[in-house]
Each structure stands twice: as C-alpha cells, then as structure tokens.
Structure 1
Amino acid sequence: MRIVIVTVGSRGDVAPYTGPALRLKEAGHEVVVSAQADFADMIGELGLGYRTMPGDTRALLESAEGREWSRNGTKLSSLKAQLDISKKLMDSVADGVLAAAEGADVLLLQRGALINGYLAGKALGIPTAALELFPGVPTAEFGLTGLGGKDLGRWGNWLLPRLALRVPTPIDGALKAFCARIGLPPMGIGRTRRMMFADQDYPVLHGFSRHVVPRPADWPRGTDVVGYWWPERPPGWTAPAELVDFIQAGPPPVFLGFGSMAPGEGERLSEVVTETVRRTGVRAVVQAGWSGLTATGDDVMCVESVPHDWLFPRMAAVVHHCGAGTTGAGVRAGVPVVPTPVLADQPFWANRLAKIGVSPGSVPFAELAAEPLAELVTKAVSDPAYRERAQSLAAKVRDEDGAAAVLRLVERIGG
C-alpha cells in the first residue's frame, strides 16, 4: 500500500511522524510524507518519499499575527490572530492535501491537515485517520487542549466544544470552496468536525502515553491513546565531539531551548537565559531554535539541532516550551522539566507535567524572566524527587509502542 502522512507546521509537527513512517516502510509499505519545504531534507535522509506541502509556518510565526499569538498565548485576545493565521494556511493546505492524496491508499492526517484531508478522503474514496499529538477530541475530563486545556468543570468542558462548533468562522468560506472543488456539499469547519465526531468508529490515534494523559472514558470507540511516536535520527548521525567533551567535563548540564517558538525574540531570550544560568550556577546547553537563542558564560555551550533522544538523558533538567514532541522527549529521558509554554496545547502539557510530579512548575513565555525561571531550575535540579518520579515514568513510557498501533491501524483500514 501507498501510505501518505500529511502534516503542516513546525519541526515538532513533522519529526514525531518519522518513527511510524519508518515502521510502516519496514513492514513493506510505500510511505510518503507531505510536509513544508523546510523538512524535505530531513524526510529524504530517512529514505522516505516526499511531497511538498505549500506554505511557510516559520514566516507565519514571524508575521505580525504570529507575534501577537505568541505574545498572548491562549488568551481570548489571541483568537483573532490564530484565525488569521489559519485562514492564510487554508488555501495552501487544500492544494497540498489534494497533491498528497494522488495515488494514496491511506491518508494519515496531522491536525493542520485534518479537516481538508478528511474531506478529500470522503470525496476520493480514500480511507483516512487522524494522528494527533495532543488530545484532539472533546471530553468532559479536561478543557480544549488547543486553548491550553483550562478546566471549566465537567459540564463546561463538555459544552464549550459543542457550542464552538456551531459558531461560524472566517475559515468556513475557504473550506466551502474546497468542498465545491472536490464535489462535496459545502461544509464549514464546525459541520465537518461534527460529522467526524458523530462517527464513533472514525480512527483517531493519539501519540502520547496513557501514563501522561489517560484515555478519557467518554471518547468515541475509534479514539485511543497509543504511546509516543519517537522521531528517527538522521542516518549516520554522531554527536559533535565538542558537545560530548563539554557534557563530560563536569556535572550534567541543564538544557534550555524554545524550539520553533518566538522567532525574532532571540536577543531578549538570550539575556534571560544568560542571567538564569548565572543565578543558578548550573552548566547549560542552549539550543538556538527559530529565535536564534544564544547565551554566554564559561559553563555554557550553544548548539543548533541535536536529537533530543541523545541529548536529554544526559541533562540534569530540561527547560523548553512544552510542545508535544519536546514534552515526549523529556518524559522519555527521565529528567525533570521546567516548561515555558507559549500557546496552543503547550500550557496543557506544562500543567500535566506538574500534576504527575516531574516538574516543579512553569513560567508562561509571556512572563518569562530570569528570577522565576532560575527559581524553578534550582528546584528541578536540587530536589531528587523530581528525577525519581521522572525516571519511574520514563520506564513505563519506553515500554509502549505507539508506532505499532499505527501499523495495525493502516493494515486494518487499508486492506
């Protein structure tokens, strides 16, 4: 079978799918990943097929709307910026999904491509499934994860998503035009999502651990939590000798990085990180990410991209934005975490890590400063209870095989 994985977004929206993709390839399937051009090399190096998904997420995050979204996070004041960004993505996603679907036997859809991919599958007779990196189906057990997961109580958690799906959005026009293009009745976002949720057996797999977020009891039959999908390292990758030497030259360092968040804020972040390291007296590995983050000091090393599955287990603690993939890497490594959540699902993961006892708490990115960050880093590295709980959780998480669940699903729906 030709399996096409369609994903839109930053590295954290692409890398986790490389693990299931290679598992599918090893099982004899032809696997193609459709993603934006920034990730073509990463996908090609792994020997996977590649199709271009139009659009540039980095440029959108660097735009005025993107900066407003980062600044306001999950506040209602950022909703317009989110919708503006989504509207800009919609047309390019529509084109990319149709190109990706050509010749596909199964479409596996990340959140950014889910609505268009689901409708394209209906029109073209191609089985589809959702592969979610954070809880993507409403539940009474917690709030909407994409808006930070704020708990409104069981009744509020249940009601709000259903009300939201009845509200027209600026994106509906583009989606209705897409429906007309593929021969379907015109449908907006809300109607499409309601149709998905009404199908109790529509497959929605979540690539995180039940030990981090148990499967809610009120989810539909086809919706499950299957375990993390681990990114694959580039073939032949070896750790830079300079980095290895730095790590071995003293006590385990603390990792600090913000991934694809906060492009253009490198100067401010660099000052915060440098002062945090000075206040705590820790050694540090600082990752540039899209912000161009740097830091200075005798016990600081700055790096570009280093696989988290190699780096994190060698750290005393990790400080990051709490994107789904980075959260999973920290959990797998068995090290304490200090989150600095920015937007979308990141506050949800930050709260979850504190609840299960592997984090002393978080500093929202909009409030990021050296004093509160240094206080949390000190707690994370000085209290052994955080590491003990993190290592216990890691042992359970490593026993799960999320990629195997994707393979089983594909062979069931694509047969």
Structure 2
Amino acid sequence: MSLGTRGDVQPFVALGSVLAGRGAQVTVSTGAGFEAMIEGAGLKAAPFSIDYQSLLQQPDIQAAMHSVSGKFRVLRQSRDWLRQELEEQWDLARTIRPDLIVYNPKAPMAPHVAHELRAAAVPALLQPVLAPTGEFPFMMMSSRSLGTVGNRLSHRLAAGLAHLLNRRNFKALSASRPDVSLSAGLDELAGYAPGGRTVPRLHAYSRHLVPRPDDWPDGETITGYWFRDNGEPDWTPPADLARFLQSGPPPVYVGFGSMPSIDARKTAHAAVEGLRLAGRRGVLATGWGGLDAEVAGDDMHVISGAPHAWLFPRCAAIVHHGGTGTTHQALRWGRPAVVCPIFGDQPFWARRVADAGAGSAPLPMKRFSAEKLAERLQEALSQEVRTQAEELGRLVRAESGAERAADVLELFMKG
C-alpha cells in the first residue's frame, strides 16, 4: 500500500516482484494510473480512485511546491480527499484480506485494518523520516545538521505533527463511517503485529548515502533501494532517440520526473542554454510537466520519458529534481548529478549527493538559470566527481535492496 507519484510506487512493485517470485500472492494498492506497471510485473493492481498526475496539474498544488503559504492552503483544502483515501484503504484491505500489509506512511490506515483482520502491517520508508536520531534532522525541516539535540527534536516534532494530522482525519472519518474500527493507542508509524510482537521497519535507500545512525534501535533496517530490475531493461528506444545517442558523445539528461513547473517553457529554455554554455549535448525529458521544450538544433533531443535504467548508463551526467528514485538510479549507474530540488525530501537528497562527492552543490529550482546550470555541470563533470560517482555506483549496485527487504519480511512472518 503506497500513495504518491511514480517514485512512491515503483519500489513497492519491485519488492512485490521479489515476494511473488518466492511464492507470495501480491496485490499493490496505490493511486490510479499505475495499473499497467503493476500488472506488467505480474502483480495484482487494486487502485485507489485518486489520480496523482491530475492532482499535480492543479494550480493550488503546484503553488504549494514553491511557497510555504501554498502548502498550508493545500493542507486546509485536502481534508475531503484525505478522508476518502482512508476510506478506500480500509475497504480495499478488507476486500483483499491480506496476511501482511507493507505500507508507506501515506497509507496510515494500514495498521488499523491489519488489527481488524488479525494481520501484520510493516512500515516501509523511502526516506529516513520516522526513526529519531541525533545525527541528522528531519529532512523537511533542514538539510543541514541542527546539532544532536536539535536533530532529535526535529524528528519528534515531525512525528507529533503526523499523529495530530492522522487523528484529525480519523476523527472526521469516524463521524461518517462508524463501521471503520480505529484502534485507540495504535501508532501508525510503528506498524502492527498480532500478539504484540516487535515490528521491523524497512528503510529502502542506500546505506552508502545515509549510513545507519548509531543511535537507532534494533528493528530499523536499511535495505538498499528497491530497484525493479537487476540491470538494464530489455527496452527498444524510439529510432530518433537511438540515432541521437549514436550521433555524438554521451549527452546530459535533464528531467524533473513527476514534478510540474510554474513555468515549464522558461525552465526548458534555461536548461538548453545552460547545456550549450557547458558545451554539452542534452536529452530533455518532459515528464509530468516540469519541462515544455521545443528545441531546434542537433545537440538537443526531447522525449516524454524513458526507463532510467536504460537511459542513464548512456548519459554523461544527470540533472534532476532529487526524488529518491531518480537519485538512486543516477547513483546506481555511477553518473554524477546536478540535483535541482523543489520541495519535500529533495533538498535532503541533493545535499546527501553533494556530501558523498557524487554530484555538484545543489541547485535549488527557485535559483535555476542557464549560467548556474553550466557552472554546476562543470563541477559535476570534473574527474574527481566522476570517479567518486562511479565508485558509489559500484556499491549501490551490490546492495540488492528488494531481496534484503524480502528476507526481513519472511523472517518476521515466520516468527
């Protein structure tokens, strides 16, 4: 059970594929629009009604990504569809009646419905957001350390806010759905297991980017990122993309995934000019609206998208928004990055990539320009950064995150 954009869904499909290969019957519940990806992996899709791609095209949602006031305005407006999400999480799980629910924190109904079904619910995290530590702060409060006490306090404040929001939404749901059984005192961030057994929490990112904090308790497992495949996919590119890649040196990839832009045409123009200032060819991926490119010239090629695991090994560097999936794909293939964060966890990953020596200093999207992009590309494509990115790629490829997560789940279910 996972809600969000493609980066929130694809890792759960990867884990589901491993579990299905070991004999489990796997259903993936997420927003509408991902059925083809889920069923193409041999898994059952049980979609919720919400469509995140359409949601991200709404002006209020786009504004929320670029201003604090916008975030609070959307939070106030989100009550109805958040309550609907909770209802659907309850109803779908009761229909499927699983033995185990693996869920991200955006599906907080999971442990409650697991309690009702006498099943287990295991939290799975794509970012280090739930386990308090003094080593780094809660990622959405700061990408820099606040000191040991400040870091730990930031995590506790974030968890407290999450609990308050969940309580508000559960209260509204209970008023209209008395058949929904909410377990008093149950911690949605800790999972659930019958008999009070300790529940593991899975952290699906690389320990080479975020080492396991020394002050974490037992049960917190950094597995490595959950990739859908073990290598480059068997994918045939469109003829024009294949010709472009063969016609010159490896290009720089520019794409912002599921993130829309306030001015997609202006962003694309700056990207093209920045690549040309740096003397680089480019592949621009329009994604869900982050770029609106109509480019003239043999040095640039525009695509709507392509499998990162196929395209990134054929590129010299990756310019992206800093989503956890794109971050790990760039690292996986040893490609230096220029990370242009917009909101959420993206500044955290941008800083981690830079601190690991696998990319340039972050270039926040609000400061994105042709000149700054050219500067960051020169930094990212230096010999020192390229060498470090290649070494980090070797380590990330060796992690086998989905397999390790499946091992933890199997051991837990046997216990």
TM-score normalised according to structure 2 size: 0.89
Residue 68 of structure 2 is aligned to residue 69 of structure 1: no
Match of 2:65, SS state, is helix
Rounded to whole Å, the distance in 2 between the matches of 1:166 and 1:241 is 52
TM-aligned CA deviation for residue 8 of structure 1:
0.6
Aligned to 2:116: 123
1:17-36 alignment, distance < 5 Å: 17-36=12-31
2:49 paired residue among 31, 46, 54: 54
Match of 1:111, SS state, is coil
Rounded to whole Å, the distance in 2 between the matches of 1:361 and 1:234 is 28
TM-aligned CA deviation for residue 412 of structure 1:
2.6
The 1:122–1:65 alpha-carbon spacing in structure 2 relative to 1, beyond 3 Å, is farther
Match of 2:28, SS state, is strand
1:201 paired residue among 186, 191, 198: 198
Rounded to whole Å, the distance in 1 between the matches of 2:35 and 2:59 is 27
Rounded to whole Å, the distance in 1 between the matches of 2:267 and 2:321 is 12
TM-aligned CA deviation for residue 64 of structure 1:
3.6
Rounded to whole Å, the distance in 2 between the matches of 1:200 and 1:109 is 18
The 1:282–1:236 alpha-carbon spacing in structure 2 relative to 1, beyond 3 Å, is closer
Rounded to whole Å, the distance in 2 between the matches of 1:254 and 1:194 is 39
Unaligned runs of 5+ in 1: 1-5
Aligned to 2:326: 326
Rounded to whole Å, the distance in 2 between the matches of 1:89 and 1:222 is 33
TM-aligned CA deviation for residue 278 of structure 1:
2.5
Structure 2 counterpart of 1:123, which letter? E
Deviations 1:138-170 (CA, angstroms, capped at 9, x unpaired): 221111124454421110111233244445855
Residue 348 of structure 2 is aligned to residue 353 of structure 1: no
TM-aligned CA deviation for residue 407 of structure 1:
1.6
Match of 2:327, SS state, is helix
The 1:210–1:163 alpha-carbon spacing in structure 2 relative to 1, beyond 3 Å, is closer
Contact persistence 1:335–1:387 (CA under 8 A): yes
Match of 1:286, SS state, is strand
Residue 110 of structure 2 is aligned to residue 112 of structure 1: no
Unaligned runs of 5+ in 2: none
Structure 2 counterpart of 1:331, which letter? L
Residue 182 of structure 2 is aligned to residue 184 of structure 1: yes
The 1:82–1:210 alpha-carbon spacing in structure 2 relative to 1, beyond 3 Å, is farther
Contact persistence 1:36–1:56 (CA under 8 A): yes
1:94 paired residue among 73, 77, 86: 86
Deviations 1:334-353 (CA, angstroms, capped at 9, x unpaired): 01100000111100000000
Contact persistence 2:363–2:373 (CA under 8 A): yes
TM-aligned CA deviation for residue 59 of structure 1:
2.9
Rounded to whole Å, the distance in 2 between the matches of 1:260 and 1:223 is 29
The 1:148–1:32 alpha-carbon spacing in structure 2 relative to 1, beyond 3 Å, is farther
Deviations 1:259-306 (CA, angstroms, capped at 9, x unpaired): 111256322222211221222221001101111532513211111221
Aligned to 1:275: 273
Rounded to whole Å, the distance in 1 between the matches of 2:166 and 2:125 is 21
Structure 1 counterpart of 2:119, which letter? I
Rounded to whole Å, the distance in 1 between the matches of 2:80 and 2:5 is 15
Structure 2 counterpart of 1:409, which letter? V
TM-aligned CA deviation for residue 314 of structure 1:
1.1
The sequence identity of aligned pairs, in percent, is 34
Q: Of the two structures, which has the highest relative contact order with CA contacts closer than 8 Å and spacing of 6 or more?
A: 1
Structure 2 counterpart of 1:9, which letter? G
1:258-407 alignment, distance < 5 Å: 258-263=256-261, 265-291=263-289, 292-296=291-295, 297-381=297-381, 383-407=382-406
TM-score normalised according to structure 1 size: 0.89
Contact persistence 1:211–1:396 (CA under 8 A): yes
Q: Report which stretch shifted further, 173-182 or 361-370.
A: 173-182
Contact persistence 1:361–1:376 (CA under 8 A): yes
1:231 paired residue among 216, 220, 228: 228
Structure 2 counterpart of 1:173, which letter? R
Structure 2 counterpart of 1:52, which letter? P
Compare the two structures and name the one with the higher helix fraction. Answer: 1
